[in-house]
Chains A and B, each alone.
Chain A
Amino acid sequence: DVKVTQSSRYLVKRTGEKVFLECVQDMDHENMFWYRQDPGLGLRLIYFSYDVKMKEKGDIPEGYSVSREKKERFSLILESASTNQTSMYLCASSFPTSGTSTDTQYFGPGTRLTVL
């Protein structure tokens, strides 16, 4: 079974703090993703990485950065947390696309971040 783990289930931080969210997958997937999920908005892509040290911005990268130093680990960094970054953060991983199919994304359990 694919396993994607995230460092914390719940996190409370103060405005202006630097926040690190960690994600680890054990299936040797090339692709990794960070999303945030807010009521009524669905999952929105923040950043993704298709290889070690490779990253691309998603739809809402402002206020976030990422790091992928090892294949199995993808970190999301909030440089200076703000209250509008209070959300559920979900990490996912997948194999690279094969042919015309898009491979399944496997999600971690999520981190519910509250910024006060």
Chain B
Amino acid sequence: RKEVEQDPGPFNVPEGATVAFNCTYSNSASQSFFWYRQDCRKEPKLLMSVYSSGNEDGRFTAQLNRASQYISLLIRDSKLSDSATYLCVVNRRSNDYKLSFGAGTTVTVRA
């Protein structure tokens, strides 16, 4: 079983739509959670950390459900520039700097 599983998509949405997707993680010892964004042929970059109480960053909202071991990302008012692959990332245990990456969910926003 993969440590982090994501629906690969693609999610094709029109501009202005809301899109949401989840990932699940298998290691209950994971303590740190992130969403990274990867544009086509580019390196991954941190989009946002995910906190236990849920958090927002502009049009992006992340939620964590520890009991069910899943993380979600919601994008409101989608822009063309949101087209990318979103990687779900968790650390392997508390205070561990090693991360486990999901294979990514591809989002395509069309005009």
Contact = CB atoms under 8 A, between A and B. Distances in A.
10 contacts: A33-B98, A40-B103, A45-B98, A48-B97, A99-B95, A100-B31, A100-B32, A104-B46, A110-B42, A110-B43
A90 B43 contact: yes
Contact of A31 (B44, B45, B97): B97
Interface string A80-116: 0000000000100010110111111101111000000
A60 interface: no
Contacts of B101: 35, 42-44
B94 interface: yes
Contacts of B95: 97, 99-100, 102
Given A42-B103, A108-B43, A58 B97 contact: no
* B interface majority secondary structure: loop
Contacts, number: 56
B32 to A, nearest CB: 4
Contacts of B107: none
Given A42-B104, A102-B95, 15 more contacts: A40-B8, A41-B103, A42-B103, A43-B87, A48-B98, A94-B97, A97-B96, A99-B95, A100-B32, A100-B94, A102-B32, A102-B99, A104-B46, A107-B44, A109-B42
